Amino acid sequence: MKSFGRMFASSLAMCVAALLLGCPAVQAQNPNFHNAPASAKEMKNPYGDQRLASEKQLYHLRCARCHGENGEGSGNIPALASGRAQSASDGELFWYITKGDVNNGMPAWSTLPRQQRWQIVTYLRVLGGSNPGSPRVRTSPAEAAAAGVKAPLPKAPFTDYRFEKPGKIRKVALKDLPAAFATTSAGNGPQLVPRPKDAWPQVLPGFKVELYASGLDDPRQIRTAPNGDFFVTESHTGNVRVFRGVTPEGKLEQEEIFATGLNRPFGVNFYPPGPNPQWIYIGNTDSIVRFPYQNGDLKARGRAQHIANVPGGDGHWTRDIQFTPDGKKMFVSVGSASNIDDPDTTPAEQNRADVLEFNPDGSAMRVYAYGIRNCVGMAINSKTGELWCSVNERDALGDNLVPDYITHVQEGGFYGWPWWYMGGHQDPRHHGKHPELKDKVITPDVILHPHNASLGITFYDGKQFPAEYEGDIFAAEHGSWNRSVRVGYELIRVPLHQAGHASGEYEDFMTGFVVDNGHVWGRPVGVAVAPDGSLLVTDDGSKSIWRVSYAGK
């Protein structure tokens, strides 16, 4: 067997434009993985549960010339999709890429950005899809598309993109959950493509979808100001935009950039609650800031004021903001830094996978609820005053585990991550840990499809839709990557039956963003209710905002 040091050196030394070297002779294999220290083996990949479009490009630029586009190897150059590369731990691979080995012809790549080094490790696991412990498969869009066509019918209550249709009611119960690792854990990230000529979001008869705005840059959270303006965070550019009005054609009337220079902004909200706010609060990935604000402002009337620090760094980066109806407390959602890292032993997880509570001035921080892996979107139920979360659960336990969910959030409540999930199921990767917490795990109100990637939510307080929609939840499902046949990529409705409480079911409401199992053209992120009762939905796939209105019977 050839040395992984030699094969990886060839890929990284030969294929980087700055070091266009040949692939020299391969040396003998070391008995250990290049004498990596024990500490390297224990390192966790902070990007291992994320799929970024740049992973494949990094591999293509730095590795594929020697090792092949699919890691198959060639001649005396070993494969990366199998063999020694796949038997090494993520940490050992990262250590070796970083430190290098001059004697083996492997340069040190410590100057390559840390995230890119980890992304190369992640993509090696993609190539080694059948390897136990990191079984990611089918990264080629063509292969994924073919797999989707050939896939057998999903077993109820689970589904996939082929069967998502407006009006379809779904309900997942605890009894429906499979055993962990019942299937391999897929790496089927979507390839974004332009919207096909005849593609358009699909809704039930009587509803209509219009393109409200387009050409945006990573539009994420959207919130309606008390005066009816719409504030949208563009996380990639660090901007907050404000949109005003709706033309008879369903288009915006006016648009401005409200603020710039923010650090991956996501959450946005207005304080104090009510018709006359004095501040607009923004959730950066590492802080909460606020700007002085009065109804109708299209530009920030002052500089950002720092309110509070929140955990930043690697992992889930969105920070949403909500205020209690009386304005006395502020909630901030902070996702985990990882997939399943144990907070007991991982300092980076401190005050993460939590909903944090502050005074509105940023003081008196405490953990309000915990064990919530990634509460992306939050909303307040005006009927009950309860806080609700839309949650991304953990990955890599199989196609149909673990379900994402939407739930009300109890003060002091524990929702399971990372040791438990869904009412006392233990994650086998933490076997035997924290048995005392098993009976404390809160089962969510609404169990969604696994890997839906549920993001923004809102309660429908408009009057345009039929009366049975009053008070219901609408939630944006960004779509799966950790599933062999994709699911999500839709807007769903959660009926609350005019009582403020869920009974567990949800409904496909707006679909049509998937081309096939390898390609999608849209990915819903946030949803807000307009003053006229229509819905506005941000879509960071097509970089658009869609408007859903009702005019039929």
pLDDT digits (tens, 9 = 90+) for 399-437: 999 999 999 999 999 999 999 999 889 999 999 999 999
- Position 7 confidence tier, pLDDT thresholds 50, 70, 90: very low
The sheet with strand 490-494 has its strands ordered as 169-170, 506-510, 490-494, 473-477, 454-459
Q: What are the start-end ranges of the E strands in 272-384?
A: 279-283, 287-292, 305-309, 321-323, 330-334, 354-358, 366-370, 375-380
pLDDT-above-70 percentage for the chain:
84
Eight-class DSSP state of 180: T
Q: What's residue 104's pLDDT?
A: 60
What pLDDT band is residue 35 in, cutting at 50, 70 and 90? confident
Bridge partners, residue 23, by sequence: none
Higher pLDDT, 18 or 540: 540
Confidence label for 65 from pLDDT (cuts 50, 70 and 90):
low
pLDDT for 2 equals 38
pLDDT of 218 strictly over 50:
yes
Q: Are 317 and 376 in contact (CB under 8 A)?
A: no
Residue 5 confidence (pLDDT): 45
The per-residue pLDDT for 116 is 86
pLDDT at position 68 is: 62
How far apart, in whole angstroms, are the C-alpha atoms of residue 247 and residue 467? Answer: 25
What pLDDT is attached to residue 17? 29
**Residue 30 has what pLDDT?**
39
More confident residue, 286 or 151: 286
Contacts of the segment 510-513: beta carbons below 8 A, 24+ positions apart: 510/166, 510/201, 510/202, 510/203, 510/209, 510/537, 510/546, 510/548, 511/164, 511/165, 511/166, 511/201, 511/202, 512/199, 512/200, 512/201, 512/202, 513/201, 513/479, 513/489, 513/539, 513/541
Q: Which is higher by pLDDT, 59 or 361?
A: 361
Cα distance between residue 74 and residue 492, in whole Å = 48
Which of the residue ranges 55-59, 65-69, 269-273, 376-380 would you say has the lowest mean pLDDT? 65-69
Average pLDDT (344-368) is 97
The answer to whether 187 and 204 are in contact (CB under 8 A) is no
Confidence of residue 82 (pLDDT cuts 50, 70, 90): low
The answer on pLDDT for 200 being more than 90 is yes
Neighbouring CB atoms inside 10 A of 166's CB total: 19
Residues in the chain: 553
Q: Residues 519-529: what's their mean pLDDT?
A: 97
pLDDT the model gives residue 314: 76
Q: Flag the least confident range among 126-140, 278-292, 344-358, 475-489.
A: 126-140
Q: Is the pLDDT of residue 279 over 80?
A: yes
Q: Is the pLDDT of residue 13 over 50?
A: no
| Structural domains for the chain | 4-127 (1.10.760), 161-550 (2.120.10.30)
> Averaged over 166-171, what is the pLDDT?
98
H or E stretch including 477? strand 473-477
pLDDT at 27 over 50: no
Residue 406 contacts residue 457 (beta carbons within 8 Å): yes
Share of the chain above pLDDT 90, in %: 68
Asked whether residue 34 carries a pLDDT value surpassing 90, the answer given is no
Helix (H, G, I), strand (E, B) or coil at 48: coil
pTM over 0.75: yes
Evaluate if residue 4 carries a pLDDT over 70.
no
> Of the ranges 4-8, 53-57, 225-229, 381-385, which one carries the lowest mean pLDDT score?
4-8
What is the reported pLDDT for 84? 64
Main-chain dihedrals φ then ψ at residue 120, nearest 5 degrees: -65, -40
Ramachandran area for residue 105 (φ above 0: left; ψ -120 to 50: alpha; else beta): left
* Structure confidence at residue 177 as a pLDDT band (50, 70, 90): very high
Q: Which two tokens stand for residue 545?
A: 């905002």
Look over the chain and give the mean of its residue pLDDT values, rounded to a whole number. 87
The alpha carbons of the chain give a radius of gyration, in whole angstroms, of 24
259 band by pLDDT with thresholds 50, 70 and 90: very high
